[in-house]
Amino acid sequence: MAISSSPRSSLSLLRHNAALALLLWSVGAGLSWWWSYNTHQQRVLELAKVEAATNINKDWSFRLWATSHGGVYVPPDEKTPPNPYLANLPDRDIITENGKRLTLMNPAYVLRQIMQGYSDLYGVKGHITSLNLTNPVNEPDAWEVAALKSFKLGVKEAVTVADIDGKPYLRMIRPILMEKGCLKCHANIGIKVGEIRGGISTAIPMEPLYAAFKPDFQGASLIHSMFWLLGVGAIVFMAWRAKREADEIDRYQGEINHLNRDLEQRVAARTGDLEAANQELEAFSFSVSHDLRAPLRAIDGFSRILLDDYTDKLDEEGMRLLNEVRDNAGRMEQLIDDMLKFSRAGRVEIFFSEIDMEKLAREVVQELQPAVGDGKLQVEIDAIPPAKGDRAMLHQVFFNLLSNAIKFSRTKETPRIKLGCSIEGDEAVYFVRDNGVGFDMQYAGKLFGVFQRLHGVDEFEGTGIGLAIVKRIVTRHGGRVWADGQVNGGATFYFTLPVKGAAQR
Ligand code: HEC
């Protein structure tokens, strides 16, 4: 008899759940770590952007300053030769009153030199560029070309992170517009004041920023791994404990199963013994009853012959004694019949079916109508729910109980019988109540015994087998019987049937 699910399946469920918990926890921790990583990355980017914007702003201010002076004069040298692209200007190269030579530097030229120094010193790169080139040195690269084109569509800024010489940089480019001052040198390319002339592009090295945020990020990573480990530990611990409990349950289960098997074996053995003994007994009583019949018939038969053929030879007393012999032989035959009936009630196989108990009760009352006699008897039948059982046997139960009730109440002025049923838990409790002569509760235990009688034969007929048969049938249906009563206060006989499913035996 298996009471719980198999231990192996519960173990695999446990494993499955633990694995699932680990997976969920790890995914959760991973997501959180990833989120924190991203946040840090975002911070670095924001900072780099601020730095880039600062650079571009300063760059632009320098250019505006240089433009406001129409360019700047410096003494030419090897690094700063006169700009060939300014050759068309009349005053590119001048000589001061005391003979000093000066050459004009346009803003792009100045800033190129400054940015060269800046890049060498600090790694920050920057230059001016345009789709309308004067000097190929200012040529935009592919990314810048795309950005410059997008500016014409209204975009105000382009940002990207890219590797330059194998190191990460934040690149930013913003458009620059034509100012009045620019026209001095750029009037010829046909771009009007306020229109886009090109862009200032800068690249900020990310490494220092990454380095600045590294401790933060490392701290977050450490906390994440610690929490993750803690969670893993907790899950493993809980799984371990659950496994231990499951093992314990399995062990008990095993013990219970073992005990159950043992018990079942013992019950089977005892039942076998009992059945064998019962069968022997039945066979015995059956053959005894049968064998007793023939001599009884003989006694009865010969007594009758004596009475019929020897009337003249017998006196009054002889006749009376012979009649007594016949009466007793008759009673004995009745006893034998009842014994056979009783043993049949134990032997016959039960055929379970759905039975309308109320209808069955009414049928039995109908059958017993002749026994009721003068019509003083009132029979009341409550609503009775259907039951599962052997129709013929339950018919016998109602028959015996009702005929008893009729028998023991017929001496009353107004005999009354009531039949009913109530459902109590998983039992249907049926009762048959009469207001007859009742019985002394002292003998309640004897009522259902074989050939037990509480009243004299001369008072009420019968051998006392009816209730024993009722008990046998009800017990075989898995129910119980009992009775309630008092002398001259009526009696109530109860029997139960299991409500759910068919009862066994
Ligand atoms: C003094 C003359 C002068 C002034 C003023 C001047 N530029 Fe230039 N600019 C040049 C020359 C010459 C070049 C090309 C040679 C070089 O790169 O040095 C140039 C290059 C550029 C370039 C790079 C693309 C290209 O044509 O090679 C841009 C963009 C630019 N200037 C925009 C401006 C803007 C905007 C202003 C006004 C705020 C301005 N310039 C003011 C002379 C000038």
Separation of alpha carbons 398 and 463, rounded Å: 18
Separation of alpha carbons 67 and 108, rounded Å: 10
pLDDT at residue 459, as a whole number: 67
pLDDT at residue 402, as a whole number: 92
Q: Is CATH 3.40.50.720 what the domain over 350-498 is classified as, yes or no?
A: no
- What is the residue with the minimal CA distance to atom 19 of ligand 1? 108
Give residue 186 CA to ligand 1 midpoint distance, Å. Answer: 7
Nearest-atom number in ligand 1 for the CA of 106 is 1
Ligand 1 pocket test target in 134, 141, 174, 193 with most atoms within 8 Å of CB: 134
- What is the residue with the minimal CA distance to atom 20 of ligand 1? 108
Give residue 9 CA to ligand 1 midpoint distance, Å. Answer: 81
pLDDT at residue 66, as a whole number: 95
Q: Are 418 and 454 in contact (CB under 8 A)?
A: no
Q: How many CB atoms lie within 10 A of CB 146?
A: 13
Q: Are 167 and 186 in contact (CB under 8 A)?
A: no
- What is the residue with the minimal CA distance to atom 30 of ligand 1? 108
**What is the CB-side half-sphere exposure of residue 406 using CA atoms within 13 A?**
25
User: What is this structure's pTM?
Assistant: 0.54
- Cα angle: 9, vertex 14, 16; to 5 degrees: 90
Ligand 1 pocket test target in 64, 128, 177 with most atoms within 8 Å of CB: 128
Each domain of the chain, given as residue ranges in start order, spans 46-211, 350-498
Written as six digits, the tokens of 364 are 């039995």
- Strand locations in 96-228, DSSP E? 101-105, 125-129, 158-164, 167-177, 196-205
Q: How far is CA 27 from CA 177, 193, 225, 228, 239, in A?
A: 50, 57, 12, 10, 19
Nearest-atom number in ligand 1 for the CA of 138 is 27
Give residue 184 CA to ligand 1 midpoint distance, Å. Answer: 10
pLDDT at residue 505, as a whole number: 38
CATH architecture of 46-211: 2-Layer Sandwich (3.30)
Give residue 99 CA to ligand 1 midpoint distance, Å. Answer: 29
Written as six digits, the tokens of 18 are 């633990």
pLDDT at residue 75, as a whole number: 95
Q: Which residues line ligand 1 (CB under 6 A)?
A: 63, 67, 70-71, 83, 85-86, 106-109, 128, 130, 132-135, 137-138, 176, 178-179, 181-182, 184-186, 197-198
Q: How far apart are the first and last CA of the chain?
A: 19
pLDDT at residue 503, as a whole number: 41
What does the H/E/C string look like for 447-471? CCCCCCCCCCCCCCCCCCCHHHHHH
Residue 358: its H or E element: helix 357-367
Ligand 1 pocket test target in 65, 110, 135, 189 with most atoms within 8 Å of CB: 135
- What is the residue with the minimal CA distance to atom 29 of ligand 1? 198
Give residue 183 CA to ligand 1 midpoint distance, Å. Answer: 9
Question: Phi and psi for 383 in degrees, rounded to 5?
Answer: -70, 130
Dihedral sign from CA coordinates of 60, 61, 62, 67: positive
Per-residue pLDDT of the chain (505 residues; tens, 9 = 90+): 444 445 566 778 888 888 999 999 999 999 999 999 999 999 999 999 999 999 999 999 999 999 999 999 999 999 999 999 999 888 899 999 999 999 999 999 999 999 998 888 888 999 999 999 989 999 999 999 999 999 999 999 999 999 998 999 999 999 999 999 999 899 888 899 999 999 999 999 999 999 988 898 899 999 999 999 999 999 999 989 988 988 898 899 999 999 999 999 999 999 999 888 878 877 887 777 778 888 888 999 999 998 889 888 888 898 899 898 988 888 888 888 888 888 777 778 889 999 999 999 999 988 888 777 667 888 899 889 999 999 999 999 999 999 889 888 888 888 999 999 999 988 999 999 999 888 888 888 888 877 777 776 666 677 778 888 999 999 999 999 999 998 888 999 999 999 864 444 3
Give residue 85 CA to ligand 1 midpoint distance, Å. Answer: 9
Q: For strands 378-381 and 416-424, give the pairing.
A: parallel
Question: CA torsion, points 335, 338, 342, 344, in degrees to nearest 10?
Answer: 120
Residue 470 CB partners (closer than 8 Å, separation 6+): 396, 397, 400, 401, 448, 481, 493, 495
pLDDT at residue 197, as a whole number: 94
Give residue 134 CA to ligand 1 midpoint distance, Å. Answer: 8
pLDDT at residue 376, as a whole number: 80
Cα 470 versus chain centre, distance: 47
Nearest-atom number in ligand 1 for the CA of 71 is 1
pLDDT at residue 374, as a whole number: 66
